[in-house]
Amino acid sequence: MEHLRQLTRRIVNRININLRGPKVDCGPYALELIPEEKFAQFYAFYGLSPDLPLHLKFKNSCLAGSYLLGRCTVEHSLIYKTDIRGDEFKRKGTHFDYEGLSIPLHHDEKVVIKDSFLIKTLVHNFSHDPENLEEFVIKNTLSLHHANIHGAPMEGAFLGPFATVDLTSLHDCVIGTFAYVQVGELSHQWIEPGMVWVRSEGSFDFRYRFPLEPLKKYIDMKPNERPTGMLFDFVESKKQEFESIYSRVQNQPPFSTKGASVSPYAVVKPKTLIGENVLVAQRAYVENSSLGRGSNAQENCYIIDSTLDGNNVTAHGGKIINSTLGQNVFVGFNAFVHGKPNAIITIGKDSIIMPHAVIDAQEPVTIPENTLVWGLVTCQKDLELNSVSLDKLAQVDGKWEQGSMVFQGHGKAFVEAFKHRITHILEANGAFFDGKDMGGHAQKGQDISFNIIQPYAEGPFRGMYPTMDIRHLVD
Amino acid sequence: MEHLRQLTRRIVNRININLRGPKVDCGPYALELIPEEKFAQFYAFYGLSPDLPLHLKFKNSCLAGSYLLGRCTVEHSLIYKTDIRGDEFKRKGTHFDYEGLSIPLHHDEKVVIKDSFLIKTLVHNFSHDPENLEEFVIKNTLSLHHANIHGAPMEGAFLGPFATVDLTSLHDCVIGTFAYVQVGELSHQWIEPGMVWVRSEGSFDFRYRFPLEPLKKYIDMKPNERPTGMLFDFVESKKQEFESIYSRVQNQPPFSTKGASVSPYAVVKPKTLIGENVLVAQRAYVENSSLGRGSNAQENCYIIDSTLDGNNVTAHGGKIINSTLGQNVFVGFNAFVHGKPNAIITIGKDSIIMPHAVIDAQEPVTIPENTLVWGLVTCQKDLELNSVSLDKLAQVDGKWEQGSMVFQGHGKAFVEAFKHRITHILEANGAFFDGKDMGGHAQKGQDISFNIIQPYAEGPFRGMYPTMDIRHLVD
């Protein structure tokens, strides 16, 4: 595996050059993090669908355990158990609107991953960089376990485990463990672990910093070590359940509810009810739960011993255990809604659990309807500082602090932006499909066929993949 | 599946143009032969090995259920459950010797399949056309079930079911059902069903014509119908056994005998013994049998309730049932050695069962050692007309007839050519591997990883495959 080893070192050096400003050495977080054997052990796969653009180009890369869909170029990179989901990329002929300008696209958007190392990362949504409409670039970037790169091109970035970069272009930035940013653009910044930051320039700014010591209980990472903490352990404990799925060529989805789609690469355990127009994405895990009409469980979600009433969004990496959710409840990226049999979490309809919120109930916790929840909540009382009624928030104009949360700007704009986005996600996933119109991923996902690609099993290129160019028959 | 239907018709028309001399319409043998649904049902797969050249180019083709290895270009073609085994193609830098000339190869040989329709065909060995050293061309060709294209480039050819073209270039030829030719070159000829013809220009000529009515009992094909007969039924009856193998991503070979290799895509049923240096190729089937040291079971072989003493070659498509074979027995292409529990076939050491021989024993049949057997044998007495001692044959010089067999030329040259070829096959397959040197397919095959490619599942391209270009990382 000499070649793979050299490639890893080369990527680390390139990233370190980009991050020489803040003097970051990402080597201890990348080199020897994954036992070399693992790179040769897992196959990669890609989806083929007549409804989606297709152009895959792989060169001098390792794709172990990764899934690719759409138009993706991967060069001089390691992508390990990573999903590149190109089904929401911008399409040729559509227009990108930016500050009153409307620019038509020359060609279908593609993601270009160069000189990067992505570990168990989800790359999804289209690039929101108005300067590069057709190319979603990820370059000189290291992203660690269960990070989300969501519509976020980046050059010279280091994302800690469970970090999420959402609709934000990054240039030479470090995004700490379990940090979440949705701020449009960032250059030469170091975002601390556990920071949650949502900003719309000139409109609002929401910031919350997770208390550092408690955060370590949930997720932490030291140089030269694997991540630790309850979040990481939880995900690791379910890993084996996926293995039997990946050992078969074609999996039959276990459900055939009208308008619903359960990925053949999802784990669905007994006593699960799937309503109409439900989407269960690949790498999602559902057990002993009821997913009401129009709900979706996105990649890396875990829904266990829970009831979701309907039109519930569980965003990428969201985890819901021993909980009861009313209609239209939104659970954000990597949120951990962790009830127990004797400490059920009940969430009223239309509520929003912020990305990277942790509700680790030590007693029954009830969240009223139409409520925004963030940060760390372990008991009912914690909600006093970590939640607000959306109606109340909508009335905020100016600066408003509560606990370690600081809000500035127009509360109404914040609430409306969130509501709008939730509706858009439901739409895109096909929640409102009426049997004819309003179809989304839940309906389209059924036509994807899965292709399996293997690395070199022996020799100096062991773990690396051949050079490939795969495109539609007529293109 | 409009596209696939148009493509089939286009291929048929092209072949018919090539075969307008003998006025052949291959349409009734190709159109609607395979239910359309089947083309979309089976995935294709290809092998990746650091030891073998790799360059796969697929364009406007259907590859359903096919396996590809090495350097293969497939354009505007349908290849259905067909194996393109490029592991014996000529390599860059090696020399091709022809009538005293020694020509070095510019680049690794590749097979180019254009405007052709191959059904359950095996393409193997390197091209023996001295005019095209680097390209093994198969163009405007239809080949039907269980045909073998062995080192035999062809343009404008129609091969009937179970036909074998061995080391012979074809131009505008029809090779009838169950015919076998190994004659160097053929142009504008129509080879009758059941013809077995081995010729070495200026040295010898062996011809045998299978009696037509009995042949139909074993294999026959009428226009607009599927093949019929015992050979076809036998193969069909084992089809299901392969299905579970193809539903898993990685199969573990069931044996780990020293120096031996059992393909993960072979079926090996209980009570089978695998000796050292044995090769069981993919799509081979072995049940309740013993394969002695250095034996090989090539593609589409079936070895059932039999004992092979060692260094036995069972060539592509050979079938051995209820039989006992001494050391070094060779069973040729598509030969059918069909013993029964009360009619065991015993074959003495060093004997040669000619390609396309049928020994369908109605009583116990014993073949002495060092014997050549051809044609149709159903009882001990049939051997009088259908066999000869190799020593006796080696003394023939001139014309010699026996039954419907006509031999002309030097018997010694014929016997020596055959013996030389058998030794070469054993060598190439690794029968003589001593733990260090003399390795062959049995030893190399272990490093191949298998990749799975799927057709379009929906839409007008249903059953067709995307455009692909796959090559080694460094090439």
| Residue range A153-175, pLDDT digits in tens | 999 999 999 999 999 999 999 99
**Is a pLDDT exceeding 80 seen at residue A447?**
no
Pairing of the two strands B148-150 and B101-104: unpaired
Task: Tell me what pLDDT residue A250 has.
Answer: 74
Alpha-carbon distance of B72 to B53, in angstroms, equals: 10
Categorize the per-residue pLDDT at B33 as very low, low, confident or very high, splitting at 50, 70 and 90: confident
When the pLDDT of each residue in chain A is averaged and rounded to a whole number, the result is 94
- In total, the C-beta contacts within 8 angstroms joining chain A to chain B are 119
Q: 3-class DSSP state for residue B224?
A: coil
Split into its structural domains, chain A has a count of 2
- Mean pLDDT within A274-281: 94
- Mean pLDDT within A439-459: 85
State the CATH number of the domain containing residue A465.
Answer: 2.160.10.10
**Is a pLDDT exceeding 80 seen at residue B88?**
yes
Residue pLDDT, tens place only, A184-196? 999 999 999 999 9
Closest CB to A473: pick one of B49, B450, B466: B466
Closest CB to B469: pick one of A447, A465, A469: A469
Tell me if B473 and A466 make a contact (CB, 8 A cut-off): yes
Q: Which of A419, A239, A242, A238 has its CA nearest to residue A313?
A: A419
- Mean pLDDT within A213-221: 96
Task: Tell me what pLDDT residue A98 has.
Answer: 87
Q: Which of B63, B120, B44, B125 has its CA nearest to residue B89?
A: B125
Same domain, yes or no: A90 and A131? yes
Q: Which two tokens stand for residue A162?
A: 């469970």
- Mean pLDDT within B108-125: 97
Categorize the per-residue pLDDT at B109 as very low, low, confident or very high, splitting at 50, 70 and 90: very high
Task: Tell me what pLDDT residue A72 has.
Answer: 98
* Residues 25-44, chain B, touching A (beta carbon < 8 A): 43
Searching chain A, which residue's CA lies closest to the CA of residue B243? A249
Q: Which two tokens stand for residue B102?
A: 């020694």
Task: Tell me what pLDDT residue B441 has.
Answer: 84
Closest CB to B461: pick one of A50, A247, A249: A50
Interface check for B468 against chain A (CB to CB < 8 A): the answer is yes
Task: Tell me what pLDDT residue A438 has.
Answer: 87
Categorize the per-residue pLDDT at B254 as very low, low, confident or very high, splitting at 50, 70 and 90: low
More confident residue, A251 or B207: B207
Interface check for B242 against chain A (CB to CB < 8 A): the answer is no
Same domain, yes or no: A438 and A453? no
**Is a pLDDT exceeding 80 seen at residue A256?**
no
Tell me if B452 and A451 make a contact (CB, 8 A cut-off): yes
Q: Which residues of A touch B456 (CB under 8 A)?
A: 48, 50, 449, 473
For residue B53, being part of any structural domain is answered with yes
* Residues 403-462, chain B, touching A (beta carbon < 8 A): 447-461
Tell me if A54 and B466 make a contact (CB, 8 A cut-off): yes
When the pLDDT of each residue in chain B is averaged and rounded to a whole number, the result is 94
For residue B407, being part of any structural domain is answered with no
Residue pLDDT, tens place only, A108-124? 999 999 999 999 999 99
Task: Tell me what pLDDT residue A368 has.
Answer: 98
- Mean pLDDT within A53-59: 97
Same domain, yes or no: A305 and A334? yes
Same domain, yes or no: B12 and B96? yes
Identify each DSSP E strand in B243-344 by its residue range: 261-262, 267-268, 273-274, 279-280, 285-287, 290-291, 296-297, 302-304, 307-308, 313-314, 319-321, 323-325, 330-331, 336-338
**Is a pLDDT exceeding 70 seen at residue B255?**
no
Same domain, yes or no: B436 and B462? no
Closest CB to A472: pick one of B452, B454, B467: B467
Same domain, yes or no: A286 and A379? yes
Searching chain B, which residue's CA lies closest to the CA of residue A470? B468
Phi/psi of residue B124, nearest 5 degrees? -150, 170
Residue pLDDT, tens place only, B424-471? 999 999 999 998 888 888 887 667 889 999 999 989 999 999 999 999
* Residues 246-265, chain A, touching B (beta carbon < 8 A): 246-250
Tell me if B248 and A250 make a contact (CB, 8 A cut-off): no
Task: Tell me what pLDDT residue B173 has.
Answer: 97
Instruction: Cite the DSSP H helix spans in A249-330.
Output: none
Alpha-carbon distance of A210 to A195, in angstroms, equals: 6
Instruction: Give Cα A273 distance to the centre of its chain.
Output: 24
Same domain, yes or no: A405 and A467? no
For residue B208, being part of any structural domain is answered with no
Closest CB to B466: pick one of A453, A461, A472: A472
Nearest CA distance, B302 vs chain A (angstrom)? 26
Residue pLDDT, tens place only, A349-381? 999 999 999 999 999 999 999 999 999 999 999
Instruction: Cite the DSSP H helix spans in A395-453.
Output: 411-428, 441-444
- Residue to substitute from A73, A452, A462, interface B, most B β-carbons within 10 A: A452
For residue B149, being part of any structural domain is answered with yes
Interface check for B245 against chain A (CB to CB < 8 A): the answer is no
Phi/psi of residue A391, nearest 5 degrees? -65, -45
Burial grade of A134 (CB within 10 A; 0-12, 13-18, 19 or more):
middle
Residue pLDDT, tens place only, B351-371? 999 999 999 999 999 999 999
First-to-last alpha carbon distance for chain A, in angstroms, is 36
Searching chain A, which residue's CA lies closest to the CA of residue B54? A466
For residue B46, being part of any structural domain is answered with yes
- Mean pLDDT within A302-316: 97
Nearest CA distance, B423 vs chain A (angstrom)? 29
Tell me if B453 and A456 make a contact (CB, 8 A cut-off): no
**Is a pLDDT exceeding 70 seen at residue B151?**
yes
Same domain, yes or no: A271 and A340? yes
Nearest CA distance, B52 vs chain A (angstrom)? 11
For residue B166, being part of any structural domain is answered with yes
**Is a pLDDT exceeding 90 seen at residue B335?**
yes
The amino acid occupying position A364 is P
For residue B200, being part of any structural domain is answered with no
For residue A249, being part of any structural domain is answered with no
Contacts of the segment B221-224: beta carbons below 8 A, 24+ positions apart:
B221/B29, B221/B144, B221/B160, B221/B161, B221/B177, B223/B28, B223/B29, B224/B28, B224/B32
Same domain, yes or no: A171 and A268? no
Alpha-carbon distance of A85 to A67, in angstroms, equals: 8
Task: Tell me what pLDDT residue B332 has.
Answer: 97
**ipTM value for the complex:** 0.91
Interface check for B470 against chain A (CB to CB < 8 A): the answer is yes
Same domain, yes or no: A423 and A307? yes
Same domain, yes or no: A437 and A452? no
Q: How far is CA A388 from CA A319, A334, A394, B118, B228, in A?
A: 22, 20, 10, 68, 77
Same domain, yes or no: A162 and A197? yes
Task: Tell me what pLDDT residue A440 has.
Answer: 87
Alpha-carbon distance of A277 to A424, in angstroms, equals: 15
Q: Which residues of A touch B468 (CB under 8 A)?
A: 468-471
Nearest CA distance, B245 vs chain A (angstrom)? 10
Residue B168 CB contacts under 8 Å (≥ 6 apart), including other chains = B128, B152, B181, B182, B183, B184, B185, B186
Residue pLDDT, tens place only, A17-33? 999 988 889 999 999 88
Task: Tell me what pLDDT residue B446 has.
Answer: 61
The amino acid occupying position B192 is E
Residue linked to tokens 């040291």: B293
Q: 3-class DSSP state for residue A4?
A: helix
Phi/psi of residue B411, nearest 5 degrees? -60, -40
- Residue B426 domain boundaries: 239-397+421-444
Task: Tell me what pLDDT residue A221 has.
Answer: 95
**Is a pLDDT exceeding 90 seen at residue A257?**
no
Closest CB to A470: pick one of B461, B466, B475: B466
Share above pLDDT 70 across residues of chain B, in percent, rounded to a whole number = 99
Closest CB to A249: pick one of B449, B452, B468: B452
